[in-house]
Amino acid sequence: MIVEKPIGIIVDDDFTSGHIPPYPKPSFISFENPLRIKAILNHLERIQIFSHKRIVNVKPKEILEATLELAHSKYHIETIKRISKMGGGLLDDEVFLTEDTFNLAKKAIGGAIEAIEGVIGNKYSQSLALIRPPGHHAIREKASGLCIFNNIANSILYLREKLDFHENIAIIDIDNHFGDGLAQYFYDDPTVLYFSIHEFDFTEGDLGLMNELGIDEGIGKNINFPVPEGITNDDFLYCLELIDPILKKFKPALIIVAAGFDMYYADPIGNCLLTSITYFQFAKKIMRIAENLCEGKIAFILEGGYDIIGLPYCIEAIIKALLNERYDPPEFEDNLSFLNDSKRNELEKIKTILKSLLNPYWGSF
Ligand SMILES: [Zn+2]
């Protein structure tokens, strides 16, 4: 009989209390707040996820400050530390710091490392890191877009440099926003494939366009699927089909999901129209791919997702898919008027262009 390994859920109470935005009333930065994790944990307790025999609840790995230097400049690390020590402040319109930000952001990296190292080391079959602040916009020298340190990039560089893990890694970024930070870290790296589906401003122009394909040895390994606002469940799953044949050729030893949930229809800073069932279907699909390619090794690392009513259900949907159990969406998601809307015509055009751009690197598919 095969003994199933546990699924690791990595979280810490500090994520439910620290790094509180300075404005209590809705503003962009106010949405990245402790209630996100609090609401998730309340829900997971209510549905008794933590007493499930396959779930283990684990704290982030304790990491040294030097670990941050794998992904960030000393100047950036020192800046975050110094401003936190002074009591916090605003770095720009989209980054706030409080007195505990440095420690919490460091702990978030420890959470991502625990999730990823645990899957690679066969401690967990899959993992889910419920961490904040998010990370996918942060770059080596700078915090950006609510992100302080780049949790996923830091974890990958830790795998590479401290654990001697050099096999291929695929990142699938489903956050509503383009993970410009993550893309930058691995833009010339042939061993890390970055695939992102994100809302894109086709009128004004934006980063995250299709022709950002990577450079040098990494060319063809940065794959952006920009989508117009208002995509719905079927549209999202349609976009995702693109990655399947590419992953088969890339043969990752690990899949990391940059798990943002701000494409959720009620999200205050995303403009797409997904409901929680899509995250269930997404996770099931990625599980099937991972089982075929890399012994099911997937780590989900929380990025955005700011609707505190819907977010807990999206997380439940992911966990139920990992457990291979049924997921029942909440009643408030029934009969939503937009569910049958579709951006399919626009998406077909984008997919055709993207396929032709990728053809030199991946052949026809
Ligand atoms: Zn986002």
> pLDDT digits over 77-117, tens only?
999 999 999 999 999 889 999 999 999 999 999 999 999 99
Distance 262 CA to ligand 1 centre (A): 6
Would you give the distance in Å from CA 343 to the centre of its chain?
23
Burial-class residue 230 by CB neighbours within 10 Å (0-12, 13-18, 19+).
middle
The rounded distance, in Å, linking the Cα atoms of 161 and 156 is 9
- Report the separation in Å between the CA atom of 206 and the middle of ligand 1, taken as the mean of its atom positions: 14
| Ligand 1 centre distance from Cα of residue 261 (Å) | 7
% residues pLDDT > 70 (the chain): 99
Report the separation in Å between the CA atom of 2 and the middle of ligand 1, taken as the mean of its atom positions.
38
pLDDT in the model for residue 234: 96
Distance 18 CA to ligand 1 centre (A): 20
In this structure, what DSSP letter does residue 320 have?
A: H
Residue 204 has a pLDDT of 87
Distance (angstroms) between ligand 1 centre and the Cα of 214 equals: 22
CA of 3 to the centre of ligand 1 (A): 37
The band of 2, judged by pLDDT with boundaries at 50, 70 and 90, is low
- Report which DSSP code applies to 15: G
pLDDT at position 37, please? 98
CATH class assigned to 7-362? alpha beta
Cα 30 to ligand 1 centre (Å):
14
Q: How would you list the strands of the sheet with 254-259, edge to edge? A: 55-58, 7-10, 126-129, 298-302, 254-259, 169-173, 192-199, 222-227
Q: For residue 299, how many C-alpha atoms fall within 13 Å in the half-sphere facing its CB?
A: 31
**Across residues 238-264, what is the average pLDDT?**
97
| Ramachandran region, residue 146 (left: φ > 0; alpha: ψ -120 to 50; beta: rest) | left
Task: Quote the ligand 1 centre to 289 CA distance (angstroms).
Answer: 24
Helix H or strand E segment including 256: strand 254-259
Tell me the per-residue pLDDT of 268-295, one tens digit each, with 9 for 90 and over.
999 999 999 999 999 999 999 999 999 9
Residue 173 scores a pLDDT above 60: yes
Residues with Cβ within 8 Å of 28's Cβ and at least 6 positions away in sequence, in order, are 93, 94, 269
Q: Report the C-alpha gap between 192 and 211 in whole angstroms.
A: 18
**Are 3 and 69 contacting, i.e. CB atoms less than 8 angstroms apart?**
no
- Residue 357 CA to ligand 1 center (angstroms) comes to 26
User: What residues does 254 pair with on adjacent strands?
Assistant: 169
Question: What's the average model confidence in pLDDT over 314-343?
Answer: 96
- Enter the pTM of the model: 0.98
Distance 1 CA to ligand 1 centre (A): 42
Rounded mean pLDDT, 124-147: 98
Question: Average per-residue pLDDT in the chain?
Answer: 96
* C-alpha of residue 161 to centroid of ligand 1, in Å: 28
How close is the Cα of 199 to the center of ligand 1, in Å? 9
Q: How far is the CA of 260 from the centre of ligand 1 (A)?
A: 6
DSSP per residue, 108-175: HHHHHHHHHHHHHTTS-SEEEE--SS--TT-BTTB-BTTBSS-HHHHHHHHHHHHS---S-EEEEE-S
Range list of H helices, 205-266: 233-240, 243-250
CA of 320 to the centre of ligand 1 (A): 23
| CA distance from start to end of the chain | 38
Q: Separation of 5 CA from ligand 1 center, angstroms? A: 31
CA 318 to centroid of ligand 1, rounded, Å: 18
Strand partners, 96: 90
The alpha carbon torsion through 310, 320, 302, 163 (nearest 10 deg) reads 180
Question: Exposure of 91 by Cβ count < 10 A (0-12 exposed, 13-18 middle, 19+ buried)?
Answer: middle
C-alpha torsion sign, points 211, 214, 219, 221: negative
Q: Is the pLDDT of residue 66 over 80?
A: yes
Which has more pLDDT, 92 or 59? 59
Residue 230, pLDDT above cutoff 80: yes
CA of 358 to the centre of ligand 1 (A): 25
Question: In the structure, what pLDDT confidence band is assigned to residue 364 with cuts at 50, 70 and 90?
Answer: confident
User: CB–CB of 141/153 below 8 Å?
Assistant: no
| Residues of the chain above pLDDT 90, percent | 94
Distance from residue 364's CA to the centre of ligand 1 (Å): 31
| Spacing, Cα 304 to ligand 1 middle (Å) | 4
pLDDT at 347: 98
Using the mean position of ligand 1's atoms as its centre, give its distance from the Cα of residue 50 in Å: 27
- Phi, psi (5° rounding) for residue 301? -120, 120
Of 232, 184, 180, the C-alpha closest to 206 is 180
| 179 CA distance to ligand 1 middle (Å) | 8
Q: What pLDDT is recorded for position 1?
A: 54
